[in-house]
Structure 1
């Protein structure tokens, strides 16, 4: 028997203690991905959809939304769960557009187009036709002026870190006010305006030459890589790079390589027939439906439907971490203004711990929004729940921003969490024992702790008691965290989990307690991770864990069928389904697969 040296003990103690010096006890992810059928079979989710429908009907009964239409869909990576559509009460009698809004009705997607431009860029990177670390002037040699093009890479452009000005024409005040002096600005001749303006419906779409001429006169907003700030110009230029390396027009490439393979038959960079078009009743000149974006197509030119966008979201949910070895598409690229907001490539990412009532674990929303006159679009992905949301609106702009997003996302996340935690309690908890050893593992669950090891006896040794000799706290648990890897990746069998030792009680809160660094592999024994747990499920349809393999202990424990599993201990308030007595005109509610 080898006696550990003082130096070794101090080393192990130092490694483990780093896990508990901060409020990091709610690790993410907390559970494997919920299956599509579990969402479909959830009575609670069906009830939530009825609540959401009720709230939407009440919302659109307000006369200020009489000119508004919308389409909403919620999907997993395997299929649509629910959709809801509303047809505006008031239409333009001269050009009403689609008479009844469905999942195939077509909207302008505006800046959601940037996601397709970025996906095209990633595919060209994978194909070896470009590198994300190439500078933009390698492909667009006509760029000139004071902007440091030689220091701006394709990656910094896709993540809004280039420092390039936002627009070349779209944010010009002279286009929207008759007299700049009313705003305290000096008088100036409108002859000094750019020769085109795609975003305001000019008869002349802007060209590549117009863009280069405008950029040559502009100054950088920030040094490259200094700070993310929103820029349409980034994606216009990326579209030109895609044209350069593919030898195809931007729209032709996106349609042939992304839209058609995904079956997005209602999506295009050319407007659809009016019978499919969602056309808001707006003052003359405010309807953007007919506007051709020209060179600006890569930043906002796509037309699409909620059904097609669900197809796109399903693809993204399945492939976001497998598109390229160099990039997880959902990871942030830089900070934004608040501690909860980040820029991705080109995602707008929001993290909050204000939704889940029983844990401080943050929920991550990977989003992209877009707007042009008359249209607002929004896509939201929740990768840890395997959910994607599409919200498309026309008419009153506040319908999306102030109302629908909150109505949809908050109850959906709470219920998705409930489904996942209920599944953990039903399939994973229990007592596991070795046949010929005095070894027993008890896995438990609670709303605040999620899945954790309650006790572990290994060959007659109380492992928790032994750990306390290295531990600064008398009370501890082993928090279980899924790695989303499998012992048999091909068959997706043998879920690999890691255990994190955490204290049951926290000391007095300090500012630096919020500083959390992830270390899910603190100690090994003879080359095996001490806190690795491999969960082997039954094939009886119930999907319960029947065996737990403890890699470092060289033992596999079998479920004690006499102990059963826990019921989920999840306490939280539930809204009551209230019949408002209001039915939105043209509202259509569809629960898919119910």
Structure 2
């Protein structure tokens, strides 16, 4: 079924503000001593690139920087653009075939930008456990999102932090004093001892709980399978196989007291901040800490505050964002029940309620429409009235741990993988019996992917990879097109604004997918040649990468250091340590360039240039 995409127009556009400034040759010469150099003719340089290894090319091109993605806000992606239309057609064909297999009952998917969807489809039936009803899924169909719930739990923590209710590095015992994290290891525990060479009790913080870095085990209380290594009974194996990532329904609801008792009893898996240990129990503690911190802040009025994780998230996230298809308990007696997606197998999981000691890790329901709203507020919290600021989003979308293979990283609570050109996908997957999901953000290119599945098929990450392999090249090419239109080309000063015979020009190019300044001449003085011949350590006789500052149309010139620029092993170190060394002219850093309206401005040189 084709769900019609809805595109919202951008709410702001780039503005131009023109000013003029007089200059002097002496100051220009001083500024030029630190800008950039061009050692060889351009033809020789590009020919030499073609003949060298990737490592050598990387050294000569310096440290490439991501393209300025604000251009995708000023001119949003449109599904009708050629590359996107082709990607959508290919993805629809792939998903139509994949969803036809019996292991998928239904599949809802969207590729989302801050301003709308560029792909949105539904496949399969809503209630696969019914033989009569063949109602198809829609964007409003409601799924269990399993561990995507953790993203909402961490989001709530960030909201409370911004309100001053808690700090991300507060110890968990500040809000849950019942916790007494063991200091002993497994050998001491199994031998009946309680002493430890650690001496002091491990300090577990909210940040560690959010990023699986606390050392707390996956699921508490543990499940005893009896004698081992004897093969467990068939009934036991079946129970284990159907358990999913959270406790079985026949075990009953896990209480807060049971959770705390178990965590206080068993040794940590590893020491906090050593490496991540995926922990549902740790995330449950985070959700409970949020509730406790909010009530503690309210003091004598705590009785008027939310008393559960469910109530707190509804107040701070669901209601402000208008998420009408998101909840923790099936709302029987309402029309939402008719939108609940139910798998054929494990259909009993459709309405199992997790209590407050289990809900923060995986108890939430949501729809494709609601998750699209959440994704848009994260990609652009200003335009879309997000529940956290853009500054907090930038902090949130960063890795906290990198695995040794350098292919995966861990955030709070992100499962991060990289694709072409080291582009990061910030993923949060979820699995419960019959329900499998992915919520994926690609902030560098301002889009995301949502996948919701009912059935026995669990590899939703493969669907994400297929979608990313089709859309990432398309979106990159469209961003490069926007960059070309905005910045690339030769820039000159008109004859009316500079004395006759004095050349002022700049050349900006897109090389290997990154933006570079390759020429800068101010009133007849070749700034790059002056730098090449100077004794300044800040010097690079190759194209200079333009590093966007995060503000629209503003860039710094990544010069690097003469002694390290050509050393591939130095990587990006020479460049980021050399940005903004304190040299100013005319009130501006001499490594600063920006565009105002249709003009390139080099403020320390006092010149403004228009496209030739």
Q: Same fold (TM over 0.5)?
A: yes
Query: 1:19-66, CA deviations, whole angstroms, 9 ceiling, x for partnerless residues?
Result: x995873533222321375411522211211111112122233x343x
Distance of aligned partners of 1:281 and 1:149 in 2 relative to their CA distance in 1, 3 Å threshold: farther
Instruction: Work out the CA distance in 1 between the residues paired with 2:281 and 2:215.
Output: 10
Distance of aligned partners of 1:534 and 1:401 in 2 relative to their CA distance in 1, 3 Å threshold: closer
* Pairing of 1:447-458 with structure 2 (within 5 A): 447-458=511-522
Q: Which residue of 1 aligns with 2:114?
A: 77
* Pairing of 1:86-125 with structure 2 (within 5 A): 86-88=123-125, 91-93=128-130, 99-125=135-161
* Pairing of 1:50-65 with structure 2 (within 5 A): 50-61=89-100, 63-65=101-103
Structure 1, 138-147 or 24-33: larger mean CA deviation: 24-33
Shift of 1:172: 3.0
Q: Which of residues 224, 235, 252 is equivalent to 2:272? A: 224
Q: Which residue of 2 aligns with 1:278?
A: 341
Q: Which residue of 1 aligns with 2:320?
A: 261
Distance of aligned partners of 1:515 and 1:281 in 2 relative to their CA distance in 1, 3 Å threshold: farther
Q: Which residue of 2 aligns with 1:376?
A: 436
Instruction: Work out the CA distance in 2 between the residues paired with 1:95 and 1:242.
Output: 44
Matched, 1:433 2:485: no
Q: Which of residues 525, 542, 546 is equivalent to 1:476? A: 542
Shift of 1:442: 3.1
Instruction: Work out the CA distance in 1 between the residues paired with 2:424 and 2:602.
Output: 31
Give the helix-richer structure, 1 or 2.
2
Instruction: Work out the CA distance in 1 between the residues paired with 2:129 and 2:574.
Output: 55
Q: Which residue of 2 aligns with 1:411?
A: 470
Q: Which residue of 2 aligns with 1:293?
A: 354
Instruction: Work out the CA distance in 2 between the residues paired with 1:374 and 1:293.
Output: 16
Q: Which runs of 5+ in 2 are unaligned?
A: 1-23, 39-56, 184-199, 237-244, 296-305
* Pairing of 1:550-589 with structure 2 (within 5 A): 550-560=602-612
Distance of aligned partners of 1:42 and 1:3 in 2 relative to their CA distance in 1, 3 Å threshold: closer
Matched, 1:27 2:64: yes
Q: Which residue of 2 aligns with 1:583?
A: none
Q: Which of residues 450, 455, 460 is equivalent to 1:395? A: 455
Shift of 1:363: 0.7
Query: 1:365-405, CA deviations, whole angstroms, 9 ceiling, x for partnerless residues?
Result: 11111111111110111111111211111113245233x12
Instruction: Work out the CA distance in 2 between the residues paired with 1:517 and 1:150.
Output: 38
Shift of 1:271: 2.2
Query: 1:148-196, CA deviations, whole angstroms, 9 ceiling, x for partnerless residues?
Result: 7661111121122111112104x6362xxx87544499xx9xxxxxxxx
Q: Is the 8 A contact 1:477 1:501 kept in 2?
A: no
Q: Is the 8 A contact 1:198 1:293 kept in 2?
A: no
* Pairing of 1:486-497 with structure 2 (within 5 A): 486=552, 495-497=553-555
Instruction: Work out the CA distance in 2 between the residues paired with 1:163 and 1:213.
Output: 16
Q: Which of residues 288, 294, 310 is equivalent to 1:246? A: 294
TM-score of the two chains, using structure 1 as the length reference: 0.77
Instruction: Work out the CA distance in 1 between the residues paired with 2:574 and 2:58.
Output: 8
TM-score of the two chains, using structure 2 as the length reference: 0.75
Instruction: Work out the CA distance in 2 between the residues paired with 1:509 and 1:398.
Output: 45
Shift of 1:362: 1.8
Distance of aligned partners of 1:508 and 1:258 in 2 relative to their CA distance in 1, 3 Å threshold: closer
Q: Is the 8 A contact 1:348 1:367 kept in 2?
A: yes
Instruction: Work out the CA distance in 2 between the residues paired with 1:449 and 1:466.
Output: 28
Instruction: Work out the CA distance in 2 between the residues paired with 1:142 and 1:180.
Output: 33
Query: 1:259-284, CA deviations, whole angstroms, 9 ceiling, x for partnerless residues?
Result: 111111001001255421111111xx
Q: Which residue of 2 aligns with 1:591?
A: none
Q: Which of residues 325, 337, 340 is equivalent to 2:407? A: 340
Q: Secondary structure at the match of 1:455?
A: strand
Q: Which of residues 479, 485, 496 is equivalent to 1:420? A: 479
Q: Which of residues 389, 393, 415 is equivalent to 1:322? A: 389
Structure 1, 409-418 or 154-163: larger mean CA deviation: 154-163
Structure 1, 404-413 or 449-458: larger mean CA deviation: 449-458
Q: Is the 8 A contact 2:142 2:340 kept in 1?
A: yes
Shift of 1:454: 2.7
Q: Which residue of 1 aligns with 2:211?
A: 159
Distance of aligned partners of 1:198 and 1:480 in 2 relative to their CA distance in 1, 3 Å threshold: closer
Distance of aligned partners of 1:327 and 1:83 in 2 relative to their CA distance in 1, 3 Å threshold: closer
Count the aligned residue pairs. 510
Q: Secondary structure at the match of 1:82?
A: strand
